[in-house]
Structure 1
Amino acid sequence: MRNTAKITTAVLAAGTLTLGLTACGSDQGSASASADTSGPLVVAASPTPHAEILTYVKDHLARKAGLDLEVKEFTDYVLPNTATVDGSVDANYFQNQPYLDDFNQKNGTHIVPVVTVHLEPLGLYSHKFKSAEDIKSGATVAVPNDTVNEARALKLLAANGLITLKDGVGNEATPADITKNPKNLEFKELEAAQTPRSLQDVDAAVINGNYAIEADLSPAKNALVLESAKNNPYGNFLAVKDGGQDDPRVKKLAKLLTSAEVKKFIEDKYNGAVLPSF
């Protein structure tokens, strides 16, 4: 029986989150060495594919490895980290390194990666156009509004000739960094989870792979343009509050997540929409 708790989250103001995290700064350091590791390992995860991969591990691999695993689903990209910081969960699995670096820097947190598991290619989707070349002048394109994924979205558009960005722009690129916009595209910045729903209201949207899959979009078939997996820095990993990487339960899960069985599960279930990174 699947033992997964699903948490539906509201979109929270970034400033409020930052203030809240700063206020509890004394709790931002390493995980306590005396933390209880006898109970189940509770892991926060995005529903697709992260929670699905964890549930496969729970149902097929964890018991044999002596791991009691509990999965909690979150539908945004902020609360899994705040829950990890405050100890509501032991670990999370939903993010990539540029996103985590940005989150730690802005919030004074100390979350660290344990093991990279998979990549979800970011893609440009549209219900109105069949190709990127067909996108008309003045079209509105939705992009994720968090710092890293917005920059990632703009880089995808630039790599496919839709815009040009300033030389050397990094993981903090915004529409203000666009130097050439031949199609006069307009950008609508939305919380990442909202981008698939926006396809009814905008001309195109850049959507993270997990949210595309949840919306029954196939990155391999439906994306007008798609990130290349080669040398991609956006692999998703298991992460913990610093110190938690020494938890024997975390070590067991890290080993299971990078097993041959999980690799086959990812390849068979997602058919190229999610790629193993190990």
Structure 2
Amino acid sequence: MSFRPIIVLAGVLAIWSAAASAEAIKIGVTPGPHAQILEAVKPIAAKNGLDIQLVEFSDYVVPNAALDAGDIQANSFQNQPYLDNQKTDRGYKIEPVGLTVNFPLGVYSKKHKSWADVPDGGKISIPNDPTNGGRALLLLRDKGAIKLKDGVGFKPTVLDVADNPKKFKFVEVDAAQSPRALDDVDAAVINTNYATQAGLDPVKDPILREDPKGPYVNLIAVRAADKDKPWVKILVDSYHTPEVKEFVLTKFKGAVLPSW
């Protein structure tokens, strides 16, 4: 007499029971690295009873609106200065619950092989949202290209440029459209996720690159009312695993850096 069918049936029932009891959440991400990393997190979270469903957004504005409205339960795409700005401007009750990765910002050009080749009066595109636009200007300041007024914090604007010795002309564009601006400007400041989507190499291609240390570490955010729920800890713990860290280091080869 064989008990194998009974054992197999018991195993199937156990798997079915675990799947049936898994809590499902929707996480908003931008296409590219954020989505790819969460795909690596999904099987780890599933083993701990959390079914992650990814919802991709093509810009930086909608994911927080969707989270605040309850259309999704978490998002993973932004850094703390951006979240702070969104909360101030829009009154969102959203809180960070865990750090993820850092994407050093880059300056790219199709017309010039080095930053020194960018001519006087050259056009430089920067993102038009306050956080990423400010971050772009801080990068240019830190590299000695411009000087900013004292006390500008993390969100300077072009009006805060105190000294522009090469008389650069700043063109503000939607962050997602920055790669397309490369044909029309001398150089473009582009976020890593949009650079990779456009086929750019965020390690080899930039003619200037941001210091990876700083306040621009990305994070997982949830509604304030949800931050102490058990699934939040499962999500963060599943992300903060050696397996996910190894995935990031292997997959992105320095373009994206683990920050936990």
State the TM-score, normalized to the length of structure 2. 0.90
1:107 Cα deviation from its structure 2 partner: 0.6
Task: For 2:240, give the aligned amino acid.
Answer: T
Note the alpha carbon deviations across 1:236-262, whole angstroms, 9 max, x for none: 111001021122222111001111000
Q: Does 1:260 align with 2:258?
A: no
Note the alpha carbon deviations across 1:66-100, whole angstroms, 9 max, x for none: 21110000010010000000000000000000000
| Mapped contact 2:102–2:217 kept (Cα < 8 A) | yes
Q: Does 1:69 align with 2:61?
A: no
Question: 1:52 — aligned with what?
Answer: 36
| Mapped contact 1:193–1:211 kept (Cα < 8 A) | yes
1:62 Cα deviation from its structure 2 partner: 2.5
Q: What secondary structure sits across from 1:42 in the alignment?
A: strand
Task: Sort the Cα spacing of 1:57 and 1:42 in 2 relative to 1 into closer, same or farther, 3 A.
Answer: same
| Mapped contact 1:147–1:171 kept (Cα < 8 A) | no
Q: Does 1:205 align with 2:188?
A: yes
| Mapped contact 2:115–2:208 kept (Cα < 8 A) | yes
Question: 1:178 — aligned with what?
Answer: 161
Question: 1:251 — aligned with what?
Answer: 233
Q: What secondary structure sits across from 1:50 in the alignment?
A: helix
| Mapped contact 2:22–2:51 kept (Cα < 8 A) | no
Q: Does 1:135 align with 2:131?
A: no
Q: How many residues align?
A: 240
Which is further off, 204-213 or 263-272? 204-213
Q: What secondary structure sits across from 2:203 in the alignment?
A: helix
Mapped to 2, the partners of 1:75 and 1:139 lie a distance apart of: 29
Mapped to 2, the partners of 1:114 and 1:162 lie a distance apart of: 36
Quick check: which has more Rg, 1 or 2? 2
Task: For 1:249, give the aligned amino acid.
Answer: W
Segments of 5+ residues of structure 1 without an aligned counterpart are 1-36
Which is further off, 79-88 or 176-185? 176-185
1:48 Cα deviation from its structure 2 partner: 1.4
CA RMSD, Structure 1 to Structure 2 (Å): 1.2
| Mapped contact 1:41–1:250 kept (Cα < 8 A) | no
| Mapped contact 2:101–2:259 kept (Cα < 8 A) | yes
State the TM-score, normalized to the length of structure 1. 0.84
Question: 2:10 — aligned with what?
Answer: none
Task: Sort the Cα spacing of 1:39 and 1:256 in 2 relative to 1 into closer, same or farther, 3 A.
Answer: closer
Question: 1:8 — aligned with what?
Answer: none
User: Given the alignment, which residue of 238, 250, 254 partners 1:272?
Assistant: 254
Q: What secondary structure sits across from 2:26 in the alignment?
A: strand
